[in-house]
Amino acid sequence: MKSQILYKTVIATSLILCAGTVFSAATDKYLQISSKSGLSLRDKCQKLMHDDAAEYKICADEFLKKIPLKSNDDKAKYLGASYYAWLASMAGRKNGMPNSDSVAVFYLKKFRPFQLELKISDDDLCKTIEGDCVTRNAQMIEMENKTKSPS
């Protein structure tokens, strides 16, 4: 009786550990794809973030429209690019750039559903782009809460 319970416990534990390893490998893959996509968007569009966030948004939107969203890899690309667009808009907001606040909210609403679908934590996503993750994640949650509450 005790050996059957022990056997079932070992099997259950092994299955949980294997599932965690598969999840971790998939998450790592998606984070790598997201990071690369965010940097691609930066290289293409960042130079437009100078006087007004509207030009930057046009470039970022064109970039995002080219991502097909047929697979989780595509969704990870979209996540990385839209996350970077949010981050660039937040930097513009910090510097008082016109339209940056509304653009940041726009991209927050774009990347969040893909982040949740791919089960990527705020901390893991934040690490794909160098910076202060504590502040960045707090800003993200604050902005998200403000967009959910009635104005």
Over its length of 151 residues, how does the chain's per-residue pLDDT go in tens digits?
Answer: 544 443 444 343 433 333 343 346 778 899 999 999 998 999 998 888 777 788 889 999 999 999 999 999 999 999 999 999 999 999 888 888 888 899 999 999 999 999 999 999 999 999 999 899 999 999 999 999 998 866 5
pTM for this one? 0.80
- 21 within some domain: no
Residues 129, 84 contacting (CB under 8 angstroms): yes
- 3 within some domain: no
- 99 within some domain: yes
- 10 within some domain: no
Residues 72, 30 contacting (CB under 8 angstroms): yes
Q: How far is CA 75 from CA 8, 21, 82, 110, in A?
A: 37, 21, 10, 11
Per the structure, the complete domain to which residue 64 belongs is given by 27-148
How many domains are contained in the chain?
Answer: 1
